[in-house]
Amino acid sequence: MIGIIGGGVWGTALAKLFSDKEVLIYARDQKVVDSINDHHFNPKLKYAVLNKNVQATNNLEEISKKEFIFIALPSQEIRSVFESQHFKNNKSNYIIASKGIEIESTLLLSDIIRSLTNYKSINILSGPCFSDEVAQNLPTAVTFAGDNNKTYRSISTLLKNKRFRMYFTDDVVGCQIGGALKNIYAIAAGISDGLNLGENARSALITRSFVEITRFADYFRAKKETLFGLSGLGDLILTCNSSKSRNTEFGIKIANTKPENYIDILKSQQITEGYYTVKAVNIISEKNSINMPIMKSVYNILHNHHNIEKEIEELLSRPLTEEKI
């Protein structure tokens, strides 16, 4: 009934969450598949002991036949997986639990799935949640977005865990934007922490980052109230205030690192989505004249190798203006 594409920490946490039912995880790594099937354990997620309802496979045809398919892949890898012919033949309900925007096409993840699959419904699961805490059954609240609430009702019925709360919205676009862009600003928050700029600076940074997210969302005609909810402001607050975030951790590490060493840091940790998403957001913002100075500074630091202190100085030297959200 339930398939999960992605054998990492998030995919495994989701599998544990729905393990009252039969769950099949797709993973490319044969060691992960064997560990889940033989020992009910994914070595990538130390907190999760899985029951016998959770099995794993590296066969895409097998996973494509599931009625509900959760996508927990790095955003830039989604297209390569779903170009498989298996997804053109089977109608499934897709729940995108990944966060990002494709660089090459600048498409939202829902648009990628829409173009490549014979879908029954396309939905989004997003919000402030660390995988390890979900796996530990700690209280968590997220947003579930879909064009209608039919799949939401079905998933809610399958979910027996009362500590994982899902709130519904029909704003598929807004739900994705909040989840994707917060990773960019978490890198900025990490840089601020790494340079010991203080609590005042982080608070101001998060607030002004939220303004930029709402500007971007407004261009896509997303609902502003979605951005003030769990998948927007909630996710931004969590990610920017915790060193458990890979994006924040990356920002802390690069604050006092030479640009030529950024790639080595990226390779040393799990996927840092903000590093890639900022490329797509920069393209969109430049093309459509969306004013996003903090995002632009992060882009310049990461991809143009601008001096961090000079970028901060430019941000602080911007003309004062009226506060609007």
Q: What are the residue numbers of the active site?
A: 182
Contacts of residue 145, Cβ cutoff 8 Å, sequence gap at least 6? 123, 124, 125, 126, 168, 169, 170, 171, 172, 174, 175, 176, 226, 231
CB 156 within 8 A of CB 167: no
- Three-class SS state of 319: coil
In what helix (H) or strand (E) does residue 68 lie, and over which residues does it extend? Answer: strand 68-71
Integer angstrom CA distances of residue 189 from 175, 248, 253, 274, 299: 21, 6, 12, 12, 14
**Closest by alpha carbon to 104, among 70, 71, 75?**
75
In angstroms, the CA 88 to CA 34 distance is 28
Contacts of residue 98, Cβ cutoff 8 Å, sequence gap at least 6? 6, 71, 72, 73, 74, 75, 78, 109
In angstroms, the CA 164 to CA 41 distance is 21
CB 63 within 8 A of CB 73: no
Order of strands, sheet of 68-71, starting from the edge strand that comes earlier in the sequence = 54-57, 23-26, 2-5, 68-71, 93-96, 121-126, 140-146, 164-169
